[in-house]
């Protein structure tokens, strides 16, 4: 997608973080927007900010896990703005929890939001894009969707699926005039990392012995440590727009992923060791962190 000015974008999860930054950056480049989210208060604020850039902005409630919402929003989009030039599937959630503690409802919630959203989006928008023979589909995956990493497992499963679908869409749609990109964020400082949003399922025995307040403090400071390696959503989106403009399939904000993917292909034994070492380092780091807070985490592993 070479030019944004005067074109139309449909965007999910626009009330916060990466979605908000996408909305404002695209408005700045002259793109008309149809922004959606379940957080209407946040969405209205983004609408007001984006309108200041002199473009048309429509905001609508769309729970991406529900097809009826997607269908209604797509119909409204087509009525208000016409055809879609840029379709950004950004909304996503992460629910934390250890491999043996994650409840089935959380698996379902994450897959419904992160993966079914892409299926709903394609179902609602692709037929008209195919008829027209143009458009660009961008789905926001994660580094957790190209390298098997730590928990949360439902998140990883959903993001690997988004990457697989995006590769397939690329192969099947590219020669039909439709571009496809998959955005692979590394660590971006947004609300998804806030414990209340992430809705972390604490290990039950740990929760019983130390209480929620203490665990919020321990996990909160652990997250702060991780976020020291993060970047702002505005900077990340600047990098994503650069990749989208070049019609790249994979769009990264962190060059380190190129090396990891190369290792996966060229040095599979080394990659296997890397996966194990990464987990060990993570567990060691977590152990040290809990010790600092007076908790002997070994008793709970």
Ligand X SMILES: NC(=O)c1ccc[n+]([C@@H]2O[C@H](COP(=O)([O-])OP(=O)(O)OC[C@H]3O[C@@H](n4cnc5c(N)ncnc54)[C@H](O)[C@@H]3O)[C@@H](O)[C@H]2O)c1
Q: How far is the CB of 35 from ligand X (least distance, A)?
A: 10
Q: How far apart are CA 124 and CA 75, in angstroms?
A: 9
In the list 11, 59, 64, 88, the residue contacting ligand X (rule: CB under 6 A) is: 64
| Whole-angstrom distance, CA of residue 211 vs CA of residue 216 | 9
- Tell me: cis bond preceding 152? Omega within 30 of 0 counts: yes
Residue 32 in the binding site for ligand X (CB under 6 A)? no
* DSSP label of 10: E
CB atoms inside a 10 Å sphere around CB 208: 9
Shortest separation between residue 116's beta carbon and ligand X, angstroms: 9
Contacts with ligand X, 173-212, as mask; x by CB under 6 A: ------------x-xx-xxx----x---------------
CA distance 38 to 199: 17
Q: How many residues bind ligand X (CB under 6 A)?
A: 29
- Considering only the stretches 13-21, 76-84, 99-107, 130-138, report the one whose residues sit in contact with ligand X under the rule CB under 6 A: 13-21
User: Among 218, 195, 198, which residue's Cα sits nearest to residue 206?
Assistant: 218
Tokens of residue 91, six digits: 């909304």
Query: Do residues 176 and 198 make contact, with C-beta atoms less than 8 angstroms apart?
Result: no
Stretch that binds ligand X, among 73-81, 90-98, 119-127, 173-181 (CB under 6 A): 90-98
- Which lies closer to ligand X via its Cβ, residue 155 or residue 170? 155
* CA-CA-CA-CA torsion sign (197, 198, 204, 206): negative
* 155 catalytically annotated: yes
Contact between 152 and ligand X per CB under 6 A: no
| Least distance (Å) between residue 70 CB and ligand X | 9
The residues binding ligand X (CB under 6 A) are: 12-13, 15-19, 37-39, 42, 62-65, 90-93, 113, 140, 142, 185, 187-188, 190-192, 197
């Amino acid at each position: 997608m070479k030019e944004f000015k005067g074109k139309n974008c449909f965007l999910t999860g626009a009330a916060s973080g990466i979605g908000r930054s996408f909305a404002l950056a695209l408005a700045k480049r002259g793109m008309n927007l149809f922004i959606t989210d379940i957080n209407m208060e946040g969405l209205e604020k983004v609408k007001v900010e984006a309108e200041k850039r002199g473009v048309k902005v429509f905001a609508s409630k769309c729970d991406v896990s529900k097809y009826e919402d997607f269908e209604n929003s797509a119909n409204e989009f087509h009525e208000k703005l016409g055809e879609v030039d840029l379709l950004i599937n950004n909304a996503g959630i992460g629910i934390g929890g250890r491999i043996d503690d994650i409840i089935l409802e959380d698996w379902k919630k994450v897959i419904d939001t992160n993966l079914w959203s892409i299926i709903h989006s394609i179902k609602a928008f692709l037929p008209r894009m195919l008829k027209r023979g143009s458009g660009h589909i961008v789905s926001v995956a994660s580094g957790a969707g190209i390298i098997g990493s730590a928990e949360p497992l439902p998140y990883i499963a959903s993001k690997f699926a988004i990457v697989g679908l995006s590769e397939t869409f690329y192969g099947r749609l590219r020669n039909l005039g439709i571009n496809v990109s998959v955005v692979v964020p590394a660590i971006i400082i947004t609300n998804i990392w806030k414990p209340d949003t992430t809705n972390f399922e604490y290990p039950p025995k740990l929760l019983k012995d130390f209480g929620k307040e203490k665990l919020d403090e321990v996990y909160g400071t652990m997250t702060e440590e991780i976020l020291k390696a993060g970047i702002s959503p505005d900077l990340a989106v600047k990098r994503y727009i650069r990749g989208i403009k070049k019609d790249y399939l994979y769009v990264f904000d962190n060059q380190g992923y190129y090396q990891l993917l190369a290792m996966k292909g060229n040095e599979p034994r080394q990659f296997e060791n890397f996966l194990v070492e990464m987990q060990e380092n993570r567990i060691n780091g977590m152990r040290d962190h809990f010790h600092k807070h007076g908790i002997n985490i070994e008793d709970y592993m």
